[in-house]
Chain A
């Protein structure tokens, strides 16, 4: 039984539903935080991670609040800072650790590293390293959902920096012209590597860009998971009803460098201080305790369970073998 299933909300009725949702959000956000911390702050420093590490610390509310809205037929296109999307879709942390370690147990069997992974059986399209390349792909996945006569929606995730690329604009325009069911979810975390939003675009908000394509756009507090979930519900309902795409800009902050090797000295200290107070996990826990949905002791117990789950996952990944070099030439094309 997973830690999420072990959690029993106290209240019943509508308040109970809210409490249950909050518990699920807390579990997935905490799991993402713990897995990423383990990768970035422990395994990477121990030399057990191959290559780069890109985390979404401080942004967990965005993948969690939105992907919990997805139906099985929906298609997910997470960015590299949306690890929780994989958990919500049923990918266990063990396979993500194996992915980061270049092992056969990773989603790409050692063919690619870090968050560059996907699994069409779970309807997760792999991250494409070129920013915003996922946007036209999301439009195409949505086209297929519509073509196949479903009510499915494509969830397309990206950061503020991606909105400068041509693919982003081509993809939004195409999705809107063809009225495709896509929810575009921007994590505006204020920095693309070292470049602040002010040097990324001359408009104030990413949401300013949606109306240019006839796409309804909304800004939400990206560090409030229940607010993200609520806004996401509007966005998904719009797309699922056949009204076309919707753009959701989630304001947040990247509480880390671009990657594990980036100390992010270019970020003013007071910004860190401001956003640390808005940590989405702390905020949710506080709110849940205030509402009587949980207790401090229960939170601590839940966290202990997550630590055990993560320990076991790391152990599994370390036992997963490296790929055999004889497989080097396999799967360039379909094997006949």
Chain B
């Protein structure tokens, strides 16, 4: 039976908790209620209060306590109810967790799960993509899976990793996508991008929910005779720059796509990397399709205009292909 993206994360957490008694969950409404999105439904009954810790509304304390427990050798998985509220735990993440190993050689093996992204009419406080605040902080690992397979494999790798990992799971994908997963235990390595559609004319480099937008656009472009390659970054920090350069060398034309807003978004960093490393391979300007620099609006016509979609990608890709 196909497994949803949400179910895949849930299975990954469940199996890691069965495998390693040091893994525990901490967050708001995750126990009795099973989490705002029901990712952890049934965990309290199975693993008990010791390993499924419901907390007061205190994001900073949730992250801080996770760090304290992580320093002591446990492997906490903290849940932010919405990634938008991760700002309340920001100092603990960027000023303490990120710097422990570098400063004083202390491992902080924690995972902070953060449901992110728009397209669900959540408005300015329940739709953001705050990954870049963390991508630009040395010492943190940042993951943003697009598929059920990767979501399960990456949450397992994140839990087993000895550095702090931020796990951005896209709310819009939770129940929308599904696929058959292997029966046996598997992981997906952190720091490795994946070509999810091979092509020769143009590369679309993206991550998270936008992988599906890219694939949709690639199908439409294929009908016009434009053969797109789609690279799913999967991990945003550390960034798989080799894979980024490889696809650019192959197709010579690059379109960068993300749901996050434009200024300071990952596309800027990718463009700089491509310019530095593979400039002579490029046959056209590096182009971006991103959300504009506004808060995420609420009302459907506004949100639709805000979010990148296949139509916007196709238009930009056509222009680049003709260049």
Contact = CB atoms under 8 A, between A and B. Distances in A.
Given A144-B73, A147-B69, A174-B55, A139 B61 contact: yes
B104 interface: yes
A170 interface: yes
A141 B56 contact: no
Interface residues of B, number: 41
Contacts of A126: 100, 103-104, 106
B102 A170 contact: no
Interface stretch (A15-23, A246-254, A280-288, A326-334): A326-334
A138 B71 CA distance: 10
Nearest to A139: B65
A275 B84 CA distance: 48
A137 B91 contact: no
A334 B109 CA distance: 10
Nearest to B67: A137
B106 A120 contact: yes
A138 to B, nearest CB: 6
B298 interface: no
A135 to B, nearest CB: 7
B58 A170 contact: yes
A119 interface: yes
Interface in A146-184: 147-148, 154, 166-167, 170-171, 173-174, 177-178
A77 B71 CA distance: 12
B64 A331 contact: no
Interface stretch (A34-42, A56-64, A107-115, A257-265): A107-115
Nearest to A180: B65
B103 A116 contact: yes
Interface in B95-109: 95-96, 100-107
A333 B109 CA distance: 11
A173 B68 contact: no
Contacts of A120: 71-72, 106
What bracket does the count of chain A residues touching chain B fall in? 35 or more
B74 A173 contact: no
A8 to B, nearest CB: 37
Given A128-B95, A133-B95, A144-B72, A171 B104 contact: no
B138 interface: yes
Contacts of A166: 60
A136 B63 contact: yes
A178 B66 CA distance: 14
A332 B101 contact: yes
A129 interface: yes
Contacts of B106: 118, 120, 125-126
Contacts of A144: 68-69, 71-74
Contact of A111 (B53, B66, B102): B102
Residue of B50, B104, B107 most packed against chain A (CB within 10 A): B104
A197 B138 CA distance: 36
B141 interface: yes
B206 interface: no
B92 interface: yes
B72 A136 contact: no
A148 B72 contact: yes
A29 interface: no
B162 interface: yes
Contacts of B163: 333-334
B102 A137 contact: no
B99 to A, nearest CB: 8
B71 A141 contact: yes
A148 B101 CA distance: 23
A138 B238 CA distance: 29
Nearest to A111: B103
A332 B105 CA distance: 9
B139 interface: yes
Interface of B: 24, 50, 53, 55-56, 58, 60-74, 76, 91-92, 95-96, 100-107, 138-139, 141, 161-163, 238
8 contacts: A111-B104, A137-B64, A139-B65, A147-B50, A147-B69, A148-B74, A174-B56, A333-B163
